[in-house]
Structure formats: C-alpha cells, structure tokens
C-alpha cells in the first residue's frame, strides 16, 4: 500500500537512497534538506509523487513548515525517517564545547525537532511510524567517537522511551543501528575532522584520520540494501523496535550485550545485597 514517507537529510548518502527506493516502490515522498534545489536535481527533477522542501533539522520552525507542506501536498504523513546527521570526530579533550553542542544539536535535538512537528499529525491520524537512524556507536562506545556516540546514545534513550508515549495512538517507533555503510558519513561535507591541539593525542589523531578517510567508500554495507530494508520495516504490521543493520553491527551488539550481562553478574557479587542493608544500622 502506498504511504507518505517524510525523509530528512535527503541530499546525499543514505537519505538519497531511501527517497529513490521509496519512489520506485510507488510511495509519495517528502524529501527534505538544507538545499532543496540540489536535492531535486539529484533525484532527477520534479515528479508527481515527490515533494522537495527545505529543512534544517536544528530549526523547529523549518520542521513545522516542512510538515505543513507535506500535509498540504499529500494530506498525511505515514512514516517519518529521521536520517539527517553529521559527525564530529576526535578525542574528547580536542573537541571544543561548542563542537560538542553542535553535534548533539544536529544528531539529537534535530530529530526531536522534526518529530515534535510531525507527531501532532500522526496523533490526529491515529497512525504513524517514526524511524530514527542511530548507529552501532549508539550502543557501543568507540575510540575517536565521543561526541558522535554521546549524541547517538541520547537518540537511543529518547526513542526507546518515546515508544511508550505514542503507542496508545497507534504510532510505532523503530531505532536503526547501522554498522559501517557507504553512506557518505565520512566525506568532508558530513564530518568535522579534529585539529590536533594536544601533543599527547597528535600522533594517534593523524593516524586515525588517515585510516578513516581511506575507508570512505570502501565500507562493506550497501546503503541501497539498507534503504530497502527500512521500507520493509515500514510495511510491517508490527515493526521492529530496534533494527541492528549489518553483520559488523550485529556482532558488536551481541558482544556488548554479553559484556553487560557479565558486568551485571560482577555487580551482583560486589553489591547485590545493597538493597537489604539495615538503614538503622
């Protein structure tokens, strides 16, 4: 059945793939980004089932205007795909407070802004599906990723809790945790590389930046396949709450789950009887 699918960050990478796959499947698509003219050109020009509109996810007024444009054109919004994001790489001490705030502003408050604008529409419909791109870095802390992981761990907690807020209105949520895909996250337009400022980190920073830049375009994950998988989830009667995407992500998440179980057991041995302490002792 044809749906109205609203996609953020449609200008490049996975966002473009999601829009193309959705259009090919016969859906009506709202493709959003900061440069709508470039998005429309990338997608091959105007199309009957495509609305391209401006959206900077850090601006709530942009999100509200884009949501209203979608309803004016198609009458409803069935699926929101929160895809827009960026990456501030580097070691914690070399990431400035302003950069940390920018990272969280885009990757956490950005999808919150768009969801805040679209939820009233879905509640009126008593139907909808919110899909938000997190990352395996939202489950597993990694070297050189403190800002990105902080933003994505925030996404995980927000989405996991949002589920309970919106379930009574027949609105589903899915958080997506991809591993390494060829999504253009590592291109300079999406990534802010650190400027070495501390001698202790300089050698590791140079080596890590070189290694990650060389990996761009060589990641094992196919973004077109990921886009098709997201559309399949959007068609599920009871969509997955969490989609761990890619063999590397699945193995990493399984290892993290085992680590948590092990730490819980170690905690039990150390302080499992803390709740039984006598407060009057």
What are the residue numbers of the active site? 148
Contact partners, residue 172, CB within 8 Å, separation at least 6: 128, 129, 130, 238, 239
* Strands laid side by side in the 28-33 sheet: 50-54, 28-33, 4-7, 79-82, 128-133, 171-178, 242-245
Q: How many CA atoms lie within 13 A of 137 on its CB side?
A: 18
> How far is 68 from 121, CA to CA, in rounded Å?
9
Taking a C-beta distance cutoff of 8 angstroms, is the pair 87, 184 a contact? no
Q: Which residues pair with 122 in a beta bridge?
A: none
> How far is 70 from 8, CA to CA, in rounded Å?
12
């Amino acid at each position: 059945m044809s749906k109205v699918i609203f996609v953020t960050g449609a200008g490049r990478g996975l966002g473009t793939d999601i829009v193309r796959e959705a259009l090919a499947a016969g859906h009506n698509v709202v493709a959003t980004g900061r440069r709508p003219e470039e998005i429309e050109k990338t997608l091959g020009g105007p199309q009957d089932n495509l609305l391209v509109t401006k959206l900077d996810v850090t601006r709530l007024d942009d999100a509200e205007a884009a949501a209203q444009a979608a309803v004016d054109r198609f009458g409803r919004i069935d699926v929101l795909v929160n895809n827009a994001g960026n990456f501030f790489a580097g070691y914690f001490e070399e990431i400035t407070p302003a950069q940390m705030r920018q990272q969280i502003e885009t990757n956490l408050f950005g999808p919150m802004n768009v969801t805040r604008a679209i939820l009233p529409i879905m509640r009126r419909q008593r139907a909808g599906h919110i899909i938000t791109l997190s990352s395996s870095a939202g489950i597993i802390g990694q070297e050189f990723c403190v800002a990105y992981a902080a933003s994505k761990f925030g996404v995980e907690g927000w989405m996991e809790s949002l589920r309970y807020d919106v379930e009574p209105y027949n609105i589903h949520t899915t958080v997506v945790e991809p591993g390494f895909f060829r999504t253009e996250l590592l291109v300079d337009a999406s990534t802010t590389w650190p400027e070495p400022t501390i001698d202790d980190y300089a050698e590791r920073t140079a080596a890590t930046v070189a290694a990650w830049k060389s990996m761009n375009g060589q990641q094992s994950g196919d973004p077109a396949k990921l886009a098709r998988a997201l559309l399949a989830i959007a068609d599920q009667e009871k969509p997955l709450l969490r989609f761990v995407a890619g063999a590397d992500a699945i193995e990493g998440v399984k290892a993290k789950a085992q680590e948590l179980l092990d730490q819980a057991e170690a905690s039990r041995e150390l302080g499992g009887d803390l709740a039984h302490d006598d407060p009057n002792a």
